[in-house]
Amino acid sequence: MTSWEDLDATALASAVRRGDLSARESVEHAIDRIEGLDGRLNVMVGRRFEEALAEVDRGLPDGPLTGVPTVMKSLGADVAGLPTTRGSRLFADKVAAADSELVRRYRAAGMVVLGTANTPELGLNPSTESVLHGPALNPWRETHSTGGSSGGSSAAVAAGMVPVAHANDGGGSIRIPASMCGLFGLKPSRGRVSPAPAAAVAAITSHQHAVTRTVRDSALLLDVSAGPLRGDAFGIAGPQTTFADAVGRDPGHLRIGLMTRLADGPETHPDCVAAAERAARLVEALGHEIVPLDVTWNSGAVQAPSGVLMGTAVVVAIEDRLAELGRDLRDDDIEPFTRVIFERYRGGSAVDVVRALQAAQNIGWAIGRLFERVDVLLTPTLCRPTPELGYLDTQDPAAMYERAIQFSSWTSPFNVTGMPAMSMPLAQDSTGLPLGVQFVADQAHDELLLSLAGQLEQAAPWELLAPRA
């Protein structure tokens, strides 16, 4: 008999709809699972179990995901009544007065929010190891990173605490932890999901969605969450039918551009190269054409505008919080790496931001020209396999600058361009840990990625739960 934790969100919602189990039983299973595992994995940073059960007892909306429990990342999504800590001591007691738009849409679909998940401070570390909350542990190997910044969400899904969890991605923060935790992680196109109530500048590079165990869950969640809020600075046309339909649709014959070596920046580890090359052989076996390509962008040129846009957003967030508190910044408010970024960008000007936006657009045009030759790009997700905890230490800013780029060099270009990109758990490294490969499509072609992902998932299914969970 299939156990609760083996069900993905789509199957779980169907079971509730059929009456095989009640919404309350579904939520109670998730709560029991969290209570049994979280003391070991340190995933949850905010809980609302009693409130969630009370919501179920009052009656949930009749939606496509009724009775499906989830958790929200404690950064980029507010849950009314819970602290949105952003992984930072400066925000530790900032309680959300209202739900974010994405939380509202999840609730309207019948989902039940059980709490908030661990994240690094202000999302700046590609590993979830904040001073405030401590490290989230990878359920595949607890000595190793979950990735970041959606590491708590990813660990929760990989461990079977919840079938899906909210995540967002400003430089790889969906795809990096998806790779490290053996999950499917889609960063949608810019404008696909409303960032409300986040300011528009954050929506330029940071995009909202989720980490999931199956492709169909990601598509169904995107159907639930996609679509602009009136007044959004960015919007994008909807799917032909639904994103869920796209998963079962034949993607047709695709030209897939394979890239495994960066033009500059860190060298890509042989395990990561081998993962991408193995994926290339798989797509060839499915009838697609592999087109070897050279990387046409300069990693330093990508990091510069990304750093300005994200660094300026960090400055605004910290200064706004200090204004709320009516005081100056203290030594123990933020971590050393965050302080370096804050000091570096706090003296920036509007001219710097405009130049960063111009540079981002030029990069978008340059990468966009690749899609005149191919339909999809295939790359490693990461430059190196999952590190041990402590390798990415925000107490050592110099080491962070040197090491963090190893985990974002393949992912961050597509935040700058706004193009959809997904990490698929199609490989393992030489030690047996999951290793993702990345597929990228042109702006607004999320459906194409989901169709290809569905085909690959059928051809090469992966473990849906971490073996130790």
pLDDT bracket for residue 2 (50, 70, 90): confident
pLDDT recorded at residue 469:
75
pLDDT band per the 50, 70, 90 thresholds, residue 463: very high
Task: Give the per-residue pLDDT at 118.
Answer: 98
Residue 398 has pLDDT above 90, yes or no: yes
Burial letters 401-410, b for 16+ CB under 10 A, else e: eebbbbbbbb
**What pLDDT, in 10s, does the model give residues 163-186?**
999 999 999 999 999 999 999 999
pLDDT digits (tens, 9 = 90+) for 85-138: 999 999 999 999 999 999 999 999 999 999 999 999 999 999 999 999 999 999
Mean pLDDT of the chain: 96
187-242 pLDDT, tens digit each = 999 999 999 998 767 789 999 999 999 999 999 999 999 999 999 988 899 999 99
pTM of the model: 0.98
What pLDDT band is residue 468 in, cutting at 50, 70 and 90? confident
Give the active site residues: 73, 149, 173
Q: What is the pLDDT of residues 128-149, one digit of tens each?
A: 999 999 999 999 999 999 999 9
Quote the percentage of the chain above a pLDDT of 90: 96
CA–CA distance, 59 with 53 (Å, rounded to integer): 10
**pLDDT tier at 80, thresholds 50, 70, 90:** very high
